C-alpha cells in the first residue's frame, strides 16, 4: 500500500523538486493539464515587461536589430534543437503546428515525386489529433494529383500499407494526444525507410515530455507545439525541424519573404534561403515568440533523462493509486502500462468522464476531457510533486464516492472543452 507519507518522502529526495519554484502556479491548484497549456515560467512576467516597455515601447523598430527580433526563429530553434536531438541550424520556431505540417508535408511529397512519382499514398493515424488529418485532406485537395489518405489503427496496418510500395509519406504523433501511446521512433523510421517512404513526426505531446533523438533515429521532418510541455505561453509559435539532407531539396509552397535568401533586397522573384530559414513565411508574432525562451531556459538547465525518469515514476504512481483507491468506480485505463510505449500523461475512459473532470476542477484539480469519454491527466515533472498525485487521486475518490459529478452544473459544456 502506498500512503501520503511515502509520497512526501519521494518529494524530499527528488532532484528536480527545486524547479517548481521557477513556475507561477496559483495556490490550491493541482495542475494536471500542462500537456495542453504549460504553466507560466515566473521569468515571463519580467521579460514581457521588458519586451513591452523597452523593446517595443522605447526602442521601437530598432529592436529588429538591437533585440534581434529578426533572429528569433533560428535562435530559439537552436535551443529547442537540444531537446529533440538535433544540431544547430536545423530547427525554426515559427507559425503553428498546423501550418508547419502543411509546409513539411508539401516538401516531403515533392521530394518523393522526383524519385518515386507513382507513390500517391499518405498514411496517418485514425486517432491522430484531427488538425493533422484536416491538413492532409486540405493539401490533397489543393494539389489534386490522385493522392490518397490512408488511415491506420495500429503498427500492423502501417506495415501493410508500406509493403504496398505506394506510400510517399507517413505522418505520426510521437505520443498520442488521447491515449499517451509512445512510438519507438528509431524502429518505426527504419521500417518506413526500408520501404522508401518519408516520415513526419508530430512532437506536440512528446517535446519536453520524453527524450527525443530526431537525428540519431534518422527522422525526416518534425513539427510540434511550444505552448504545451515547453511552457511557451498560449498560442506561442511552433517548432519545425528538417533533416539537413532534405533542407535544400525543395522549398515549401508558403514562400513568403521571411524565407527569401535576401529578404531586404525586395526582389521581385522568390529565391529560397539556403537551409532551414526557407521554412519561414512572413512576420512572426514577436511578443508571443519572445516569451518562449523562458520555458526553454528552464529545460536547458535540466536534462530530459531525469525528466523522463520522474515522469515514469509519476505515471506509475498515478496508475497504482487509481487501482488502490478508485478501483470500485469503473475507470478504464487506456494508456500503455509498458514504459517503452508510454508518454507523459495518463488517460482513463469513464462514461461520466466530462462531468467528473468538471467536478475535479471545482476542487482545484485541473485535468481535461477528450472525446470520447476520456479523462486525461498530464504529468509535468518540473512543477508537480509526488504528493500532488496522491492528493489528486484522493479528490477523484471523493468526487466518485459522493457522486459529486452528478450535478447539472457539471454537464454544461464550455466552448472549449
Ligand atoms: C495540440 C496539438 C496540435 C495543435 O496544433 P495547433 O496548430 O497549435 O493548433 C497539433 N497536433 C497535435 C498532435 C497536438 O497535440
pLDDT at 327 over 80: yes
Count of alpha carbons within 13 angstroms of residue 233, beta-carbon side: 20
Residue 257 is assigned to a ligand binding site: yes
The proportion of the chain whose per-residue pLDDT surpasses 70, expressed as a percent, equals 100
Residues 251 and 393 in one domain: no
Residue at 30 is within a domain: yes
Which grid cell is 55? 523593446
Residues 106 and 170 in one domain: yes
Name the domain boundary from 249, 269, 299.
Answer: 299
Residues 277 and 332 in one domain: no
Question: For all residues of the chain together, what is the average pLDDT?
Answer: 97
With both helix axes pointing from N to C terminus, report the angle between 353-362 and 386-401 in degrees, rounded to the nearest 10.
Answer: 120
Residue at 415 is within a domain: no
Residues 311 and 404 in one domain: yes
Residues 133 and 261 in one domain: yes
Residues 76 and 151 in one domain: yes
Residues spanned by the domain of 366: 4-41+304-410
129 counts as catalytic: yes
3-state helix, strand, coil split of the chain in percent (to 5) is 45, 15, 40
Is 177 a pocket residue for ligand 1 (Cβ < 6 Å)?
yes
What is the mean pLDDT of the segment spanning 266-283? 96
pTM over 0.95: yes
227 counts as catalytic: yes
Strand partners, 151: 124
Q: What does residue 156 show for φ and ψ, rounded to 5 degrees?
A: -65, -40
- What pLDDT, on a 0 to 100 scale, did the predictor assign at position 251? 86
What is the mean pLDDT of the segment spanning 106-134? 97
Taking only the tens place, the pLDDT of each residue in 143-172 is 978 999 999 999 999 999 999 999 999 999
Distance CA 93, CA 258 (A): 13
Residue at 53 is within a domain: no
The confidence band for 414, taking pLDDT boundaries of 50, 70 and 90, is confident
Which ligand 1 atom is nearest residue 205's CA?
A: 15
352 within 8 A of 405, measured Cβ to Cβ: yes
Distance CA 309, CA 312 (A): 5
Is 204 a pocket residue for ligand 1 (Cβ < 6 Å)?
yes
Taking only the tens place, the pLDDT of each residue in 336-375 is 999 999 999 999 999 999 999 999 999 999 999 999 999 9
Residues 265 and 322 in one domain: no
Residues 231 and 117 in one domain: yes
What is the mean pLDDT of the segment spanning 3-20? 98
The confidence band for 278, taking pLDDT boundaries of 50, 70 and 90, is very high
Domains in the chain, number: 2
Q: By three-state DSSP, how is residue 389 classified?
A: helix
Residue at 416 is within a domain: no
Q: By three-state DSSP, how is residue 152 classified?
A: strand
- What pLDDT, on a 0 to 100 scale, did the predictor assign at position 144? 79
Is 55 a pocket residue for ligand 1 (Cβ < 6 Å)?
no
What is the mean pLDDT of the segment spanning 295-310? 98
- What pLDDT, on a 0 to 100 scale, did the predictor assign at position 72? 98
Residues 132 and 20 in one domain: no
Residue at 55 is within a domain: no
Which grid cell is 410? 457539471
> How much distance in Å is there from the Cα of 202 to the middle of ligand 1?
8
Residue at 52 is within a domain: no
Taking only the tens place, the pLDDT of each residue in 212-255 is 999 999 999 999 999 999 999 999 999 999 999 999 998 899 99
329 counts as catalytic: no
Closest CA to 376 of 150, 129, 207, 160: 129
Distance CA 105, CA 279 (A): 12
Residue at 26 is within a domain: yes
- What pLDDT, on a 0 to 100 scale, did the predictor assign at position 16? 98
**Atom 14 of ligand 1 has which residue's CA nearest to it?**
204
Which ligand 1 atom is nearest residue 238's CA?
A: 8
- What pLDDT, on a 0 to 100 scale, did the predictor assign at position 139? 97
Which grid cell is 181? 501511446
Which ligand 1 atom is nearest residue 235's CA?
A: 8
Taking only the tens place, the pLDDT of each residue in 32-89 is 999 999 999 999 999 999 999 999 999 999 999 999 999 999 999 999 999 999 999 9
What is the mean pLDDT of the segment spanning 197-206? 98
Is 368 a pocket residue for ligand 1 (Cβ < 6 Å)?
no
Residue 130 is assigned to a ligand binding site: yes
Name the domain boundary from 244, 269, 299.
Answer: 299
pLDDT at 415 over 90: no
Name the domain boundary from 250, 266, 299.
Answer: 299
Q: What does residue 383 show for φ and ψ, rounded to 5 degrees?
A: -135, 20
Residues 244 and 338 in one domain: no
Distance CA 118, CA 246 (A): 20
Q: Identify the burial level of 305 via C-beta atoms within 10 angstroms of its C-beta, where 0-12 means exposed, 13-18 middle and 19 or more buried.
A: exposed
- What pLDDT, on a 0 to 100 scale, did the predictor assign at position 417? 76
CATH number at residue 96: 3.40.640.10
Residues 96 and 228 in one domain: yes
CATH number at residue 15: 3.90.1150.10
The confidence band for 28, taking pLDDT boundaries of 50, 70 and 90, is very high
- Grid coordinates 521554412 are at which residue? 279
DSSP state of 416: -
Residue at 104 is within a domain: yes
Is 131 a pocket residue for ligand 1 (Cβ < 6 Å)?
yes
Distance of CA 74 to the CA centre of its chain: 19
Residues 141 and 275 in one domain: yes
Amino acid at each position: 500500500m502506498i500512503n501520503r507519507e511515502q509520497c512526501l518522502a519521494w518529494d524530499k529526495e527528488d532532484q528536480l523538486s527545486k524547479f517548481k519554484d521557477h513556475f507561477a502556479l496559483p495556490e490550491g491548484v493541482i495542475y494536471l493539464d500542462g500537456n495542453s497549456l504549460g504553466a507560466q515560467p515566473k521569468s515571463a512576467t519580467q521579460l514581457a515587461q521588458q519586451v513591452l516597455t523597452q523593446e517595443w515601447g522605447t526602442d521601437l523598430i530598432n529592436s529588429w536589430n538591437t533585440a534581434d527580433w529578426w533572429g528569433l526563429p533560428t535562435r530559439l530553434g537552436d535551443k529547442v534543437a537540444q531537446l529533440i536531438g538535433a544540431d544547430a541550424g536545423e530547427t525554426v520556431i515559427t507559425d503553428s503546428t498546423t501550418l508547419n505540417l502543411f509546409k513539411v508535408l508539401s516538401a516531403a511529397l515533392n521530394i518523393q515525386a522526383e524519385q518515386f512519382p507513382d507513390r500517391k499514398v499518405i498514411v496517418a493515424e485514425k486517432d491522430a489529433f484531427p488538425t493533422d488529418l484536416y491538413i492532409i485532406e486540405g493539401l490533397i485537395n489543393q494539389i489534386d494529383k490522385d493522392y490518397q489518405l490512408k488511415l491506420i489503427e495500429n503498427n500492423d496496418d502501417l506495415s501493410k500499407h508500406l509493403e504496398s510500395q505506394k506510400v510517399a509519406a507517413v505522418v505520426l504523433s510521437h505520443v498520442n494526444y488521447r491515449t499517451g501511446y509512445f512510438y519507438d521512433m528509431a524502429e518505426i523510421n527504419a521500417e518506413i525507410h526500408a520501404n522508401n517512404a518519408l516520415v513526419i513526426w508530430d512532437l506536440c505531446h512528446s517535446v519536453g515530455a520524453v527524450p527525443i533523438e530526431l537525428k540519431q533515429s534518422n527522422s525526416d521532418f518534425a513539427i510540434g507545439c511550444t505552448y504545451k510541455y515547453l511552457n511557451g505561453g498560449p498560442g506561442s509559435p511552433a517548432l519545425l525541424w528538417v533533416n539537413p539532407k532534405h533542407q535544400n531539396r525543395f522549398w515549401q509552397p508558403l514562400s513568403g519573404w521571411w524565407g527569401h535568401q535576401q529578404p531586404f533586397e525586395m526582389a521581385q522573384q522568390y529565391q529560397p534561403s539556403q537551409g532551414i530559414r526557407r521554412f519561414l513565411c512572413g512576420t512572426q508574432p514577436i511578443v508571443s515568440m519572445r516569451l518562449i525562451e523562458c520555458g526553454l531556459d528552464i529545460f536547458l538547465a535540466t536534462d530530459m533523462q531525469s525528466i523522463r525518469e520522474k515522469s515514469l515514476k509519476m505515471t506509475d504512481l498515478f496508475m497504482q493509486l487509481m487501482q488502490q483507491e478508485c478501483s470500485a468506480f469503473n475507470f478504464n485505463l487506456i494508456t500503455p502500462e509498458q514504459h517503452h510505449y508510454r508518454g507523459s500523461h495518463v488517460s482513463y475512459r469513464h462514461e461520466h468522464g466530462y462531468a467528473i473532470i468538471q467536478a475535479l476542477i471545482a476542487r482545484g484539480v485541473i485535468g481535461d476531457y477528450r472525446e470520447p469519454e476520456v479523462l486525461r491527466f498530464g504529468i509535468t515533472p518540473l512543477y508537480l510533486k509526488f504528493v500532488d498525485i496522491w492528493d489528486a487521486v484522493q479528490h477523484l475518490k471523493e468526487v466518485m464516492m459522493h457522486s459529486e459529478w452528478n450535478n447539472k452544473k457539471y454537464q454544461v459544456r464550455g466552448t472549449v472543452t
